[in-house]
């Protein structure tokens, strides 16, 4: 009976459905299974660039809106290559043969939206931060400044997927 159970466990571990369980175990520190979106990038060059663009280091007394804009500045340009490597792991899970739109709630400057559209996926972003929405729109990314709950209360159609990272 024990050998039979070992065989079942072995087979289950080789199925694609078991991979998310492995990722969860790795995230919780219970496994050494490599996460597909793990990457390490030194923050110093990005932080230095953000300080030079904005003109001062981050200040905890500033508003939350300014913090998010500052944070976005840190990760602009070269960091997007690292993000795109992470985003590549999501593509197999996002249907492409649908006419429904993908929604990124709290999209910031729209990095994920840009990635989706460059891969042929219709997408729209929603964010409340005016500075981030303007940055996205300046890059021709489809972002609306709105509260997500108010936005969805006015929509009469469905979407293919949502992305919300909090």
Whether 82 and 128 map to the same domain: the answer is yes
Find the helix or strand (DSSP H, E) in which 126 lies. strand 123-127
Whether 111 and 158 map to the same domain: the answer is yes
Provide the percentage of residues in the chain whose pLDDT is more than 70. 48
Q: What is the pLDDT of residue 87?
A: 81
Mean pLDDT of the chain: 72
Q: What is the pLDDT of residue 47?
A: 65
139 or 35, which is more confident? 139
Find the helix or strand (DSSP H, E) in which 130 lies. helix 130-138
Whether 61 and 142 map to the same domain: the answer is yes
Predicted TM-score (pTM) of this structure: 0.55
Can you tell me the distance from the alpha carbon of 31 to that of 53, in angstroms, rounded to the nearest whole number? 41
Whether 55 and 11 map to the same domain: the answer is no
Whether 67 and 140 map to the same domain: the answer is yes
Q: What is the pLDDT of residue 141?
A: 94
CATH number at residue 151: 3.40.50.150
User: If 0-12 CB within 10 Å is exposed, 13-18 middle and 19+ buried, where does residue 141 land?
Assistant: buried
Whether 54 and 28 map to the same domain: the answer is no
Whether 141 and 72 map to the same domain: the answer is yes
In total, how many domains does the chain have?
2
**pLDDT confidence bin for 146, thresholds 50/70/90:** very high
66 or 166, which is more confident? 66
User: If 0-12 CB within 10 Å is exposed, 13-18 middle and 19+ buried, where does residue 154 land?
Assistant: exposed
Q: What is the pLDDT of residue 50?
A: 67
Whether 64 and 144 map to the same domain: the answer is yes
Q: Evaluate whether 113 touches 124 at the Cβ level (below 8 Å).
A: yes
Whether 13 and 51 map to the same domain: the answer is no
Q: What are φ and ψ of residue 145, in 5° steps?
A: -85, 110
Whether 19 and 94 map to the same domain: the answer is no
Provide the percentage of residues in the chain whose pLDDT is more than 90. 11
Q: What is the mean pLDDT of the segment spanning 12-35?
A: 58
24 or 149, which is more confident? 149
155 or 129, which is more confident? 129
Whether 16 and 53 map to the same domain: the answer is no
The tokens of 27 are what?
């995230």
**pLDDT confidence bin for 143, thresholds 50/70/90:** very high
Domain span including residue 30: 1-35
Whether 122 and 149 map to the same domain: the answer is yes
């Amino acid at each position: 009976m024990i050998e039979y159970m070992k065989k079942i466990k072995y087979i289950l571990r080789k199925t694609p459905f078991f991979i998310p369980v492995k990722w969860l175990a790795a995230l919780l520190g219970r496994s050494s299974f490599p996460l597909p979106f793990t990457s390490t990038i030194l923050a110093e060059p990005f932080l230095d660039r953000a300080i030079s663009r904005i003109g001062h280091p981050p200040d905890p007394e500033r508003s939350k809106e300014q913090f998010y804009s500052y944070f976005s500045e840190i990760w602009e340009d070269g960091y997007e290559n690292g993000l795109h490597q992470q985003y590549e792991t999501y593509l197999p899970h996002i249907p492409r043969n649908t006419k429904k739109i993908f929604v990124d709630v709290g999209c910031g400057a729209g990095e994920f939206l840009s990635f989706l559209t460059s891969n042929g996926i219709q997408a729209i972003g929603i964010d409340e931060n005016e500075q981030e929405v303007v940055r996205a729109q300046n890059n021709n990314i489809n972002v609306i400044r709105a509260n997500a709950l108010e936005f969805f209360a006015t929509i009469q159609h469905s979407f293919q997927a949502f992305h919300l990272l909090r």
